[in-house]
Amino acid sequence: MEFQWLKTFIVAAETTNFRKASEKLIISQPSVTVHIRLLEEYLGTKLFDRMKNRVTLTDTGKLFYIEAKQLVEQMEKSVNRIHTYAQGFRKNWTIAISPLMAETILPYILRTFMESHPEVEISIRVEESDSIEQLVDNGDVHLGISALDAKFKNIESIRMYEDPILFVVSPDIYDEESGPPIDASEVLQKDYVFTHHHPVYWDNLLNKLNKHVNHIRTMKVTQAHIVKRFVQEGLGVSFLPHSIVKRELIEGRLMQPYFDLVKLPTVSTYILVKKKGELEKEFIHLISQYYFG
């Protein structure tokens, strides 16, 4: 049984049209017909019912579609492993990290870790915090970096650092020292507040703000790096963790006005791990040495 027969069968089963299958596979339509006929002869059963220009899967074809998908996926995984081995990698290691942390702590940590382990093929999965623990528990990733603490008893949670939440706005035409003070209440009434780019503090913070400021206009933007850009462009304001805006504050691309309407929260970042091997231990140690201030 040829590998290409399986790939042709899968595409034909999904399109239920040999002409469309040929276009997707970039082969001729007669080649599709030949591949299917040879596969049916090999299996000794019909996979399609032909009706003029349309084909439909037989019951056997529907069953074999599932098997064919698994066979092709397994073959592709095996080929990828061989290619990886040939490139000098001897181990696969996967981490999941929330978008909030991916652009701040990951580049430095990853560069150092890769230099120490050239034999390890590292895969990064950028996932929302509420799904990372399950990925760790399932064994889909070796380690997770999340904005949420662990809930499962068999998952170890290690607090990496605490992060104060800051009120940030677009740079004003006056600098913070010589310009007039910014009235946070006026800004919150006038501008959109970008919310829900962090899974922990928003609902509680909005409840507190609404007791002090009338008619706050909010806009949900779930990615923190998008919020930063929107604020820089003067589209609105927000409350963001210090670690992801500190560079913009230093470079003057964002401003942090004085804010005393409510006490702003502090959030934590956690490493989630199920089994601590040598790579996990080293990665955790490396992060523990990083200064997040």
- Percentage of the chain surpassing pLDDT 70? 91
From 242, 184, 248, select the one nearest 216 (Cα to Cα). 184
Superfamily assignment of 91-161+268-288 in CATH?
A: Periplasmic binding protein-like II (3.40.190.10)
Cβ-Cβ contacts under 8 Å for 224 (sequence gap 6 or more): 99, 100, 197, 198, 240, 241, 244
Question: At residue 209, does pLDDT exceed 80?
Answer: yes
pLDDT for the residue numbered 73: 87
Q: Running DSSP on this structure, what letter comes out for residue 255? A: B
Mean pLDDT over the full length of the chain: 86
138/143 Cα distance (integer angstroms): 11
pLDDT for the residue numbered 279: 86
pLDDT for the residue numbered 253: 92
Question: At residue 137, does pLDDT exceed 90?
Answer: yes
Q: Which fold would CATH assign to domain 163-266?
A: D-Maltodextrin-Binding Protein; domain 2 (3.40.190)
Q: Do 91-161+268-288 and 163-266 fold alike per CATH?
A: yes
Task: Taking the CA atoms of 280, 94, 129 and 250 in sequence, report the sign of the dihedral they define.
Answer: positive
Average pLDDT over residues 250-278: 92
The CATH number fitting domain 3-86, selected from 1.10.3720.10, 1.20.1370.20, 1.10.10.10, 3.30.70.100: 1.10.10.10
Instruction: Give the confidence band of 89 by pLDDT, cuts at 50, 70, 90.
Output: very low
Instruction: Give the confidence band of 176 by pLDDT, cuts at 50, 70, 90.
Output: low
pLDDT for the residue numbered 247: 87
The pTM of the full predicted model, rounded to 2 decimals, is 0.65
